[in-house]
Structure 1
Amino acid sequence: MITRWSSVLSSLSSFILAILIGGSLSAPAAGQSSAGPQQAPTERQRLAPDFTLEKMSGEPFQLSEHRGEIIVLNFWATWCPPCKQEIPGFIALQKEFREQGVTFVGVSLDKDGFSSVRPYAEKMEINYPLVVDDGTVAAKYGGVRVLPSTVLIGPEGKIRHRKVGFFPEQQLRLQLKTLLGQTDSSGW
């Protein structure tokens, strides 16, 4: 019973910490909407920094080899409740948009690497590449202070959108359809 309560309290404290950090670092500035793009205008068309990391399968994943695809680059961790909440939507969207050239990539910030990621990925049946940050990738993207954080990269290799915090499936679907030219972006 004590072990169970300890586990519940640990999960709850992680969740509260994620909310506190997310609320203090990702709140919009005065006059800004939290629904709009969350990047500086100068970054919107910046070339996404290239990186190479080992996938869970042991093969390398190099971002630049996926030029021509739309990449959903998601920084996450197995201990992060909002990260775990958005993964089922990512799985569904990867399945829905795979044939249209959309690739999700999960960049784990778990300190113990694949020893935490692998069991969780297998349990959730994650259908997209997972890599573990070696300490350089998050830094290349300006540092990741809030999890989850997602970067949408267009087929030309440029950053098109950033979302700090939970990315609802419907909002992400709209962003992907816009990048694919299937709808206009006036809904944002």
Structure 2
Amino acid sequence: MTSFRTLLLLSVLLLVFSLPAAALEKGDIAPDFELPNLSGKLVRLAQYRGRIVVLKLATTWCPTCRQQMEEIGKLADFLDDSDVVVLDVFLQDNESMVRDYLAGKALPKNFVPLLDDGQVRKAYNVYLIPRLLVIGPEFKIRRDGSLIMARELKKMINAIRQEKSD
């Protein structure tokens, strides 16, 4: 019986880890949403059309989500200079948890923490976190995946900015 349970557990783990990290294809239009920020003001993704948006889907308790936040923090000045908006959608956390989590972190000036009510989780089919999407000025998905290092994110944003200026 123990070997059956082990085999079953291994099968489930294999299934979970074989799932793709992305649910949207490059070039898809980003699903719009409207969520409250930490002050309760409603923020829509669509209000940032025409700008590059980094959309992070995560929680406060996930270790890899924390690592992704550190990578974004490394780019705070670059993101500010590039006028990139960072929308951080917290999927399972309340306002107090998010405020505690963000305290003392290096954040870009265009950093907007949002509290998901389930609509983003559903619209973006979130089953793995962290998930980081880059949305171009034309509102199309340029990247949808898991953890990305600061150097790669900067390279991607510079490429989008170059396209925009051509």
Same fold (TM over 0.5): yes
Q: Please tell me the root mean square deviation across aligned C-alpha atoms, in Å.
A: 2.3
Q: Which residue of 2 aligns with 1:50?
A: 32
Runs of 4+ that moved beyond 6 A: 19-22
Cα distance change of structure 1 residues 96 and 21 upon mapping to structure 2, 3 Å threshold: farther
Deviates more, 1:166-175 or 1:77-86: 166-175
The one of 112, 118, 127 aligned to 1:129: 112
Pairing 1:2-151 to 2, within 5 Å after superposition = 23-26=17-20, 43-110=25-92, 112-127=93-108, 128-141=111-124, 143-151=125-133
Q: Distance in 2 between matches of 1:21 and 1:108?
A: 25
Aligned-partner residue type, residue 120 of structure 1: Y
Percentage identity across aligned positions?
32
Structure 1: where are the runs of 5+ without partners? 1-18, 28-37, 183-188
Equivalent residues of 1:90, 1:169 under 8 A apart: yes
Output the TM-score relative to the length of structure 2.
0.79
Cα distance change of structure 1 residues 55 and 25 upon mapping to structure 2, 3 Å threshold: same
Secondary structure of the residue that 1:180 maps to in structure 2? helix
Structure 2: where are the runs of 5+ without partners? 1-12
| Matched length | 149
Secondary structure of the residue that 1:171 maps to in structure 2? helix
Aligned-partner residue type, residue 137 of structure 1: V
Q: Distance in 2 between matches of 1:21 and 1:91?
A: 33
Q: Distance in 2 between matches of 1:70 and 1:138?
A: 21
Q: Distance in 1 between matches of 2:58 and 2:34?
A: 17
